[in-house]
Chain A
Amino acid sequence: MRRFFISTLLLAVVLAGCAPSASGPGALPTATAEHPTLVLMTHDSFNISDSLIKQFEQETGATFKVLRAGDAGAALNQAILSKDNPLADVFFGVDNTFFGRAIQADIFESYDSPKLAEIPDELDLDSQHRLLPVDFGYVCLNYDKAYFAEKGLDVPQRLEDLTRPEYKGLLVVENPATSSPGLAFLITTVAYFGEDGYLNFWQKLRENDVYVTDGWEDAYYGQFSGGSGKGTRPLVVSYATSPAAEVYFSEGKLKEAPTGNILPEGGSFRQIEFVGILKGAKHPDLARKWVDFMLSRPFQEYIPLQMFVYPANETAALPEVFQKFAQVPSAPAKITPEEIDAGRERWIDAWTKVVLH
């Protein structure tokens, strides 16, 4: 029996030695000087148009590849785990709720892109420019217009209104421990009510029968009653662009958004998404070109309809459906990435105890 296991071990070593031959046609082609391959690692909801990719490939003579790695959290963790031997050259999809974790892990190179001049300072959160802002959107409450009109009910105006009896059983939120808009909304309430007040608000929300789902998909499609939602609750934590998306994805059937945003002062969260060049990238020059490309106007103008967020570049024009149906909150919650990073886990823990247990 012992001999059996020793020979197993030996065979394993031999096999491990010849394994690279097993990597198939889709494996990363070994880059040559003439035809380098730029690899972008990102989350599953990244999307961009084919023609832009072709344009980039023509300009640089490189091949472009996308590597998807699960949701935003899972993708970032995989980038951190592979930091000694990075899977890609560029990483896109760190947002300001995970900004601190990414910076601390020290996986990004600084890059002062000339395009930063066209991006407002308020989006540019990293003074060393390891992470550069690409797009932003707002997490806020959506409401079902038809429901409120039918019941003759006023739409809640402030976050504290949600705890009033007339809104009992109407709200659905996402779990901040598993969902990115859920986390953004929890952070909003911390900024809105303060460290000593937010738990009291959530306690009251719980008493007012708030419904918690683990992900945005279930909250929006499963529980929300407005637009394409199939549920019964007329209030949901979603994005300020969701009403515009409802119109856009109705194929011209809807002339007006079936849902609306609730945007009290300090009651929404601006989520900024960043791109960064990974330390140890195989093609750092190409990676810098890609970052410039992502921040330049043609790319930025494609962002709204592909990912339903706003371009970071001020010079990029917005599509009609955004101008008509999407709203920009005048005063989103004020909170820095450092504050978020210092409090994130404590808030999630406390929230879980108050709302779920």
Chain B
Amino acid sequence: MKILVAVKRVIDYNVQVRVKEDGTGVVTDNVKMSTNPPDDNAIEEAVKIKEAGKAAEIVAVTVGEEKAQETVRKALAVGADRGIHIKVDGIVEPLAVSKILQKIADKEKPDLIFMGKQAIDDDCNQTGQMLAALLNWPQATFASKIEVKDKMLEVTREVDEGLETIEVNVPAIVTCDLRLNEPRYASLPNIMKAKKKPIEQINSSDLGIDTKPRIEQIKVEEPPKRKAGIKVANVAELVEKLKNEAKVI
């Protein structure tokens, strides 16, 4: 089997995001960037499947500006075999990303496409499902467990009510939850080796996909701030406050 894994470069999850004063977005200059966390789970799962002898090749793909390549390079360092970087500047909405990935899937013909269930920057949670629709493949979203069987996967999904188990025939799309696995760190020798692995660069315009945003971002602002609270000295005071001041118990 061949697995395509899509990864996105986002502001690191530990960074306290700040809104720009002019309301046009959030501050990204001199801010630490990383791979979107559940995309790391997607790569890890693909590598585990390959290590178990059930996949022959892993291709890591990203869509974004020049520096987005770093995420592909990181995927190569933890076990992907080669990379593809589709170069686009500016905001690319999930619909455009899924159209680009559809073109890549048409060319690469993977059996499985993995990605994180949601990007932690725009919090859209769309790309995997959209790509599945465009390819007319089944989708196993929010996966916390994947079992590879003969030409099919059994996937446990995290849903509001608890867990749901489905079977999907390949080719299929899986979007990964953070609980799917524990992503490994790249070792120094593997980081060195990854530098020699090939990354193919493609301009999005060469794919004939219109990436012009369909959603106009009018303004970005700080959320309303909570007013500062107080520290209580002990449990008795806490219960008294909840009962008589906040009146919630």
Decide if A and B are genuine partners: no
Which residues of A are at the interface with B, using a C-beta cutoff of 8 A?
A: none
